[in-house]
Structure 1
């Protein structure tokens, strides 16, 4: 079993690559943002830490954390983003490690044909949060900045000001490139993207 880490900036298309790996190569996906969402729900481990620090104004009418409100605060403030990460990352990392170990145990109980051969960790902060050590290979999903901006505006409704704040707080393309094993270019052509993935999988 090989563990592949996917990293790239917001709007790079990590989720698209992960989806291809799941559907066409039978990969098991671990999406850290989904785990973080679960851990931030009312009654879960990081909920109280987040609310205590950011205040009840980040809550919706149902008492759950409104992630849109929270992201509006942290994406423009590096210090607050780091504080949020300190609440969630250790707990998410623990869940990720447990999930990988469980798959290894289950694989031992299956025939070779039934085993999961690839686990894919999709995460925004693969290097910063320490997931590099869990991966056999790290792929950087690269995209031209203008295409990324267009995606964030059309798909998420982000303003240019918000996009600029997000990009300012992310690793540079060079840093991503320096910390990966392989690079995938995802500028929108699905056929080309699938061919690139096939080359990396061979």
Structure 2
């Protein structure tokens, strides 16, 4: 089972690449944002730590965390953002490691018992692959690159972001150079799905 770390900035199309790998190459996906979101639900460990630090004023009437309010608090506050990440990232990584171990055990049984097909690829989709220490878990790290003007168009159309908000988000993310320096493979996703599929096919077949 090859473990692929998939990273890219907001609007790059990481999810599109992940979907192709899942639907066409039978990859198992781990999306760290989804895990982190679950861990922030009421009663979960991250939830308890976040509320203890930020206070109950970040909660909605039903007791769940108001994610928009919390995002507003940490958006331009590096210290509070790091604190928030410390409440979630280690727990997410523990989950990912358990999932890798489970899949490797499953693959070993699949080979010996021949009752099910082994999982050929495990894809870890995360925006913080390097910062959160996933590099060491991966056989390869793929970076999904996109031209900045196309990224802006996607975020305006799909999320309704203003250009000011987009620039503020990009300012807080790793630069393309930093992403490129920390990856093994660069995929270009400027909107042509056929070309994107060809790149993925070449990478998987050639390896």
- Shorter chain as denominator, the TM-score bin is over 0.9
How far the C-alpha of 1:136 sits from its partner, in A, is 0.1
How far the C-alpha of 1:40 sits from its partner, in A, is 0.5
Question: Higher mean Cα deviation, 57-66 or 163-172?
Answer: 57-66
Question: Runs of 5+ in structure 2 lacking a partner?
Answer: none
Residue aligning to 1:94: 94
Give the direction of change, closer, same or farther, for the CA distance of 1:185–1:21 in structure 2 (3 Å limit): same
Question: Runs of 5+ in structure 1 lacking a partner?
Answer: none
TM superposition outliers: structure 1 runs of 4+ over 4 Å: none
Residue aligning to 1:174: 177
Alignment partner of 1:109: what SS? helix
Residue aligning to 1:187: 190
Residue aligning to 2:155: 152
How far the C-alpha of 1:46 sits from its partner, in A, is 0.6
Larger C-alpha radius of gyration, 1 or 2?
Answer: 2
Residue aligning to 2:45: 45
Aligned residues: 202
Residue aligning to 2:134: 131
Matches within 5 A, 1:36-115: 36-111=36-111, 114-115=117-118
Question: Higher mean Cα deviation, 144-153 or 91-100?
Answer: 144-153
TM-score (norm: length of structure 1): 0.95
Residue aligning to 1:201: 204
- Cα separation, 1, equivalents of 2:72 and 2:165: 8
Alignment partner of 1:110: what SS? helix
* Aligned residues: CA RMSD: 1.3
TM-score (norm: length of structure 2): 0.93
